[in-house]
Amino acid sequence: PPAGIFGPRRRAADVTLWTLGSINADYAYRVPRLPGPGETVAAEGLTRGLGGKGANLSVAAARAAARVVHVGAVGPDGRWAVERLMEYGVDVRHVAEVGEVTGHAVIAVAPDGENSILIWPGANAAIPEAVRDAPLAEARVGDRAVAQNETNGQAGWLATAKRMGLSTAYVAAPFDPQAVGAVLDVLDLLILNAVEAEQLEAALGRRVGDLGVRDVLVTMGAEGCRWHGAEGERSFPAPKVEVVDTTGAGDTFAGYVLAGLDRGLPMAQAIGQAQVAAALMVARRGTADAIPDLKEVQDARLAP
C-alpha cells in the first residue's frame, strides 16, 4: 500500500489492539484518610464512573488513537458501561451480556491521592469461552493482545493469541505471581510496578530482566519507570505534577504504551507519551472518564 503522509507509521496504524479485560462501575469515595482494619470512615464525596483495569486500558489506547477491540462481559445492569466504552471509541462488538451482575469497584481516595480498592468481579469472572476466543478469529498476524488479572481465562486467551501470530502483553494487576507465571512463556511485553517486580523476582528466583520476556516495563510512580529490553535496562524519570488521585494511572500508562507501539513509535517514545498521560491522570479525579486524549498529551507542558 502507498506509505501516506505518515509513512511507515500509517502501516503500523493498521494494527488492532485486542483487550481481554474487566469492565467495572467505579464508586469513588473521597475520604479524609484510608480506613484501617476495623475502622469506619465517613466519605466526603462520591462519584460513579466507568472503570475496571481492562476498560481503563482500552479507553486509554483508544484516546491515544489506537484501534481497540474490547473483549469482556457485563450483566444486564451494565449496558451504560458498554455504551460509554463505545463513546470513547472502543469497539464493543465482543462485549457479552451474561447472567451475572456487572463488576464494580469501591474506591477510597485519600487527600494525598493514594487509594484502596475493593472489587466485586461479577461478570468479569464469567466471560464465556466462546466470547473470549471467537473474536481472535478476526485478528491478523501482527495485531496485539493484552490482558490483566481481573478476568477469567487470561492464560488460555494469550496463548491462543500468541499461536495466531499476535504480539502479547500482560499488565500484572491486581498482582498475583501465579497468574504472571501462567502467562510468562507466551509474553512479549510485561508491565508491572516496582513492588510487584520485587515480589515476582522473589517468587521466581530470577531478575525481571531475565524472564525471557522481550520487554519488561517496571513503573515506579513519581520516580518514573524502567524498561528492560534487548539492549539492557533504561530509566525514564516521570514528569512532576501535583497528585490528586492515582486511580487508573497505571492503566492509562499501559494503554498509552501499547497504543504508541501500535502507531509505530519506538518503545522510548511510547513510554514518554505514556508518562505524560499518566501524569495528567494523577492530577485529576476519576478513572476511564478522566483519561486524557492524545492532543492533551501532546500539548501538555509538564515540569521534567
Q: Which residue is nearest to ligand RIB (CB)?
A: 51
Q: Site for ligand RIB (CB under 6 A): how many residues?
A: 16
Pick the closer one to ligand RIB by CB: 52 or 292: 52
Shortest CB 84 distance to ligand RIB, Å: 13
Stretch that binds ligand RIB, among 18-26, 63-71, 202-210, 216-224 (CB under 6 A): 18-26
Binder among 22, 151, 160, 275 for ligand RIB (CB under 6 A): 22
Residues numbered 239-298 forming contacts with ligand RIB, rule: CB under 6 A: 247-248, 250-251, 287
Separation of alpha carbons 82 and 111, rounded Å: 31
Cβ proximity to ligand RIB: between 15 and 274 the closer is 274
* In the complex, minimum distance from the CB of residue 179 to ligand RIB, in angstroms, rounded to a whole number: 15
Shortest Å distance, C-beta 176 to ligand RIB: 14
Task: Give the nearest distance from C-beta 59 to ligand RIB in angstroms.
Answer: 10
- Shortest distance, position 241 Cβ to ligand RIB, whole Å: 18
Decide: 87 and 109 in contact? Cβ < 8 Å: no
Residues numbered 85-114 forming contacts with ligand RIB, rule: CB under 6 A: 105
Residues numbered 177 to 216 that lie near ligand RIB (CB under 6 A) are none
DSSP output for the chain: ----TTTHHHHHTT-EEEEE---EEEEEEE-SS---TT-----SEEEEEEE-HHHHHHHHHHHTT-EEEEEEEE-GGGHHHHHHHHHTT-EEEEEEE-SSPPEEEEEEE-TTS-EEEEEE-GGGG---HHHHHGGGGG--TT-EEEEETTSS-HHHHHHHHHHTT-EEEEE--S--HHHHHHHGGG-SEEEEEHHHHHHHHHHHTS-GGGSS-SEEEEE-GGG-EEEEETTEEEEEPPPB---S--TTHHHHHHHHHHHHHHTT--HHHHHHHHHHHHHHHHTSS-SGGGPPPHHHHHH---B-
Per-residue contact track with ligand RIB, 45 to 64, x per CB under 6 A? ------xxx--x--------
Q: Supply the minimum distance, in Å, between the C-beta of residue 122 and ligand RIB.
A: 11
Q: Which is nearer to ligand RIB, 52 or 72 (CB)?
A: 52
Site residues for ligand RIB, window 114-173 (CB under 6 A)? 117, 119, 150
Please report, as ranges, the residues that interact with ligand RIB according to CB under 6 A.
Answer: 22, 24, 26, 51-53, 56, 105, 117, 119, 150, 247-248, 250-251, 287
